[in-house]
Amino acid sequence: MLVPAGRNKWILPRTGKMLVEGRVYLSEKLRKQLGNDTALNQLAQAAELRGAFGHVVGLPDMHSGFGLPIGGVLATDAREGVVSAGAVGMDINCGVRLMSTPFPADKLSQVELARLMEALEQRIPSGIGRSSPLAQYRTGNLEHVMCQGSRAVVAEGYGLPGDISHTEEEGCLTGADPAALPAEAVKRMHQLSTLGGGNHFLEFCLVDRVIDEELATRFGLAPGTLAVMIHSGSRGLGHQVCTDYSRLMLAAAPRYNIQLPSKGLAAVPIASAEGQRYLAAMACAVNYAFANRQLMAHHVREVLSRVVGIAPGDIRQVYDVAHNIAKFERHFGKDVLVHRKGATRALPPGHRDNPPAYRETGHPALIPGTMGTGSYVVSGTAELSETFFSVNHGAGRVMSRSEARKKISVSAMRESLGEVKVNSSSLKRIIDEAPAAYKDIDEVTLVLASIGLTRPVVRLKPLAVIKGEGDE
DNA sequence: ATGTGC
């Protein structure tokens, strides 16, 4: 199915109803690992959607998802093209925030680390179905959060102004309209400041390896220091927006003479009333997710200052990026809607959409690895234009959750975690997140770096991780 | 990913 196109690069040729070809970035090893995964079919199907522009992209962590594969990018013509809820994904603005500290990680005792975890667990509920620990965010009257994102909660005292300038879109995607939210979604916006389950986590880590000294310095990441990574999204709200609009798009597509390649890729014209409403509802969920991570970052500051005495102002936000989002951008001289699903934007040095602090360097792109293994901070280069300035969002699964539960034993998982502290007393409840269920983060991250599309900046090593538990 | 499935 894939035709080699140079080192770590493959073409998915145009066949059948595909309007554009696919470009897929995999090492030989990853291509073998992917095999004939349905992800390649899903990528080919996405290329059939009206207005598909340039090429569809499969990133090194790609694996099958609902509609578009996770680790997939689809750009559609902003005027003539469609928008697909499934091409953004269930967890709208699932994303990652990285905070740096000046604190030397080797000065942190195991007792202090345990205390940090305990204190954070008290403040941040995790797992499925949990409600906000903060009364004012359980009222359902959250129009300001939907419309202003991070800014709304920083204004209420949860954060520092620098957090906003160090967040993608400054923590607020334009075009949000709470009136576009489905009734069922409105019922589910009581979860601000909660972590969630699955691959979401809150991690204390160490800036372990500095690969690019100049960029690491510019990003404020000093070797040996303690850092914190928050991986979470829009919780039940985003899930409901995707579910309801995907169903609506499926019903509406025939009215616009749109032939759908699959249910998961249900789509309507961007210009249609349904398309506009989806984008307005999606922006609400995007902003809710930015605010969610903002609130958790506030708790991280409080706990770090209380337990180990780091001044809150010294805990800086490196950046916050979205992994599941659709945004209007300009590429190859054309206005397009870029759907990124399990993909992170990574703008190159000098790009005007960079935040001012990172205009010259390109903003940091955050790639969380698997629990217990490691994560990367990378930066995009000008050559990354061929992926619409997108990089992989993680390591990518090699097994489904159910497969992982069958094949991985608790003892094997415990061994693979090594010294990493885990909050969960029952590894069985998070076994679908075992490192063995994922690809190798080093291998995956180096695919784009080795062909000059990204510059790896630092590798982070986990010290302790908080995960939401599922069922046994 | 998810008050976890048409």
DSSP assignment of A84-130: EGGGT-SSTT-EEEEEEEEEEGGG--HHHHHHHHHHHHHHS--STTP
Does A275 score more than 90 pLDDT?
yes
What DSSP designation does A253 have?
G
What local confidence, expressed as pLDDT, does residue A35 receive? 85
pLDDT at A246: 97
pLDDT of the residue at A425: 87
Q: What is the pLDDT of residues A143-200, one digit of tens each?
A: 999 999 999 999 999 999 999 999 999 999 999 999 999 999 999 999 999 999 999 9
Q: Is the pLDDT of residue A139 over 90?
A: no
Tell me the pLDDT of chain A averaged across its residues: 96
Q: For strand B, is any atom closer than 7 Å to the CB of A140?
A: no
Beta partners for A392?
A: A343
Indicate yes or no: strand B within 7 A of the C-beta of A472: no
Q: Is residue A472 part of a domain?
A: no
Does residue A151 form part of some domain?
yes
Distance A11 CA to B5 C1' (A): 36
Q: Is residue A130 part of a domain?
A: yes
Question: In residues, how long is chain A?
Answer: 472
pLDDT of residue A72: 98
Verify if strand B has an atom below 7 Å from the CB of A128. yes
Q: Is the CB of A470 under 7 A from strand B?
A: yes
CA atoms within 13 A on the CB side of A94: 26
| Residue found by looking up tokens 């949860």 in the block | A158
**Which pLDDT belongs to residue A69?**
96
Tokens of residue A221, six digits: 């990441």
List helix spans (H) across A156-272.
161-165, 183-186, 213-218, 235-252
Residue A425 lies in domain:
3-467
How do beta strands A95-104 and A225-232 pair?
antiparallel
pLDDT at A140 over 90: no
Structure tokens at A183: 């009734």
Of all residues in chain A, the percent with pLDDT exceeding 70 is 100
The tokens of A127 are what?
A: 């797992």
A236 touches strand B (CB under 7 A): yes
Tokens at residue A294, please? 């903002």
CB-count exposure of residue A11 (10 Å: 0-12, 13-18, 19+): middle
Quick one: CA torsion of A453, A385, A337, A354, rounded to 10 degrees? Answer: 80
User: Residue A251's domain is classified under what CATH number?
Assistant: 3.90.1860.10
Q: Which residue has the least CA–C1' distance to nucleotide B3?
A: A129
Cα separation, A118 vs A388, in Å, equals 41
Give distance CA A349 / C1' B1 (Å): 32
Neighbours of A148 (CB within 10 A): 19
Residues 171-200 of A with CB under 7 A from strand B: 184, 187-188, 191, 196-200
Residue A402 inside a domain? The answer is yes
- Cα atoms found within 13 Å of the Cα of residue A290, Cβ hemisphere only: 33
Quickly give A129 CA vs B3 C1' distance in Å. Answer: 6
Task: Give me the helices (H) in A124-186, please.
Answer: 143-148, 150-155, 161-165, 183-186
At a CB cut-off of 8 Å and minimum separation 6, what does A25 contact? A8, A9, A10, A57, A58, A59, A60, A387, A447, A448, A451, A453
Number of domains making up chain A = 1
Confirm whether pTM is higher than 0.95.
Answer: yes
Measure, in angstroms, how far nucleotide B5 C1' is from residue A243 CA. 13
- Which nucleotide has the shortest C1'-to-CA distance from A184? B3
Question: What pLDDT, on a 0 to 100 scale, did the predictor assign at position A1?
Answer: 87
> Which nucleotides of chain B are near protein (any atom < 7 Å from a CB)?
1-4
A54 pLDDT higher than 90:
yes
Burial class (CB in 10 A: 0-12, 13-18, 19+), A353: middle
Give per-residue pLDDT as tens, A227-265. Answer: 999 999 999 999 999 999 999 999 999 999 999 999 999
The single residue of A166, A239, A323, A393 carrying the catalytic annotation is: A393
Answer yes or no: is pLDDT of A456 > 90. yes
**pLDDT (0 to 100) of residue A162:** 96
Quickly count: other Cβ atoms within 10 Å of residue A124's Cβ.
23
Phi then psi for A242, rounded to 5 degrees?
A: -65, -50
Rounded to an integer, the average pLDDT of A269-288 is 98
Report yes or no on A75 lying in a domain.
Answer: yes
pLDDT, position A25: 98
pLDDT at A295 over 90: yes
A355 in any annotated domain: yes
pLDDT for res A471: 86
Residue A267 has pLDDT above 90, yes or no: yes
Is A393 annotated as catalytic? yes
Residues 6 or more apart whose CB falls under 8 angstroms from that of A201 comprise: A195, A229, A231, A368, A371, A465, A466, A467
Q: A267 has which bridge partners?
A: A84
- Side chain identity at residue A415, one-letter code: E
Q: How far apart are CA A40 and CA A61, in angstroms?
A: 12
pLDDT in tens, A1-37: 899 999 999 999 999 999 999 999 999 999 999 988 8
Q: Which nucleotide's C1' atom has the smallest distance to the CA of A236?
A: B2
pLDDT digits (tens, 9 = 90+) for A365-418: 999 999 989 999 999 999 999 999 999 999 999 998 999 999 999 999 999 999
Confirm whether A245 is domain-assigned. Answer: yes
